Chain A
Amino acid sequence: MMNCKSIQELLLTDYVDGEMSDSERKIIDDHLKSCQKCEEFALLAKKVGVDSFSDTERVSPSENVWQRIKMQVSSSSEKCNIFNNIFSLENIKNAFALMRPRLVLASILFVVLSTTLFIKVSEQNLALKQEEQVVVYLATLSEDDDSFDEDFETNIEKYFL
């Protein structure tokens, strides 16, 4: 059994907008027959939800609007076409055909130069690494010096000491 509050919520929404099934609508209608408060509310809901907007005038845009839209889309289309014309598949193919021998030569030179540079840099890095290792080794030698000087614990030294 629905209370008046729930009924009134439905009156403001689904009932007045025709979003209810026939059986649901019948339940509301039966309630309205016996509840004056809800019946008055239903009249106001219909006035607000339906009647106030029923004769709303439909307005149309002026012809200027279409002219402005046409101008705007045409100019953006032209820019797009210029761009497409320059970078069309045809033009790109032609450019490659023209440039091919030079492009091939340039590519070969690039590969050779990059490889040479890479090898040189690698060799330099390797040399640097080896130098570092020597330095580290020498550094460790000097650290060990004192202990070496003090370490007389070979058999011969022990014998004489």
Chain B
Amino acid sequence: MQEIAQDILERSAAGDLAAFECLYRASSGLVYNVAFRIVDSHQDAEEVTQDVFVNVYKNLSKFEFRSSFKTWIYRITINAALNRSKKMIKEKKRTAVLSDYQIDSVSFKEQKANDSKPDDELVHRLLSSLNPDQKACVVLRNIEGLSYEEVSRSLNININTVRSRLKRAREKMGKLIKKRGDHDEL
């Protein structure tokens, strides 16, 4: 995410829509990517992005600049995406007409329509094997490239918790990759 000028933040906080659009253009990619990797659906990622920026618009005047704007917006995005993800899981359980495998294929097909890279298939499968907390850490560390300290501040958790969630996530993903490797060899 490109650095956002203080002036843009202040004018956006004051309700200047043109400044807010600049802020949106500078940070929407980050928000959308994080949201997409957590909710695993373009439609839901767009709704999360919309919610995040409406939230930012309403609350920017209260943002006291104690943390960086980047950390703040990551935190809002992760919370919004995880809430949406939990809602979707509850919805799936409630309307369990399709089996887990079919539901997984449905969301994956929607993704495939837009993303044709084979690497994305692997990323999708790896992230799907994780719980929401582990997924959030992996997305911020591996995809967004945040340091442990930045992940810790964005998720508001201890740095050792970041470490342990990443370790468990990678153990799970490692088993999956190994299984895939054995399967490919066969």
A residues lining the B interface (CB < 8 Å): 9, 12-14, 17, 19, 44-45, 47-50, 52-53, 55-62, 64-66, 68-70, 72-74, 76-77
Using Cβ atoms and an 8 Å threshold, which residues of chain B touch A69? Answer: 24, 50, 53-54, 57
In the complex where A48-B170, A52-B123 touch, is A77 in contact with B15 (Cβ < 8 A)?
yes
Using Cβ atoms and an 8 Å threshold, which residues of chain A touch B20? Answer: 73
The one of A19, A61, A72 that contacts B147, using a Cβ cutoff of 8 Å: A19
Q: Count of A-B contacts with CB under 8 A? A: 102
Q: Give 18 CB contacts A-B under 8 Å.
A: A9-B167, A12-B166, A13-B170, A45-B170, A47-B177, A48-B170, A52-B177, A53-B138, A59-B36, A59-B115, A62-B46, A64-B46, A65-B28, A66-B21, A69-B24, A69-B50, A69-B54, A77-B15
Using Cβ atoms and an 8 Å threshold, which residues of chain B touch A12? Answer: 166-167, 170-171, 174
Chain A at the B interface: SS class: helix
Question: Is B123's CB under 8 angstroms from A56's CB?
Answer: yes
Question: Is B117's CB under 8 angstroms from A44's CB?
Answer: no
Question: Is B120's CB under 8 angstroms from A45's CB?
Answer: no
The one of A9, A48, A61, A77 that contacts B49, using a Cβ cutoff of 8 Å: A61
Question: Is A61's CB under 8 angstroms from B45's CB?
Answer: yes
Q: Residue B178 at the A interface, CB < 8 A?
A: yes
A49: nearest chain-B partner, CB-CB = B170
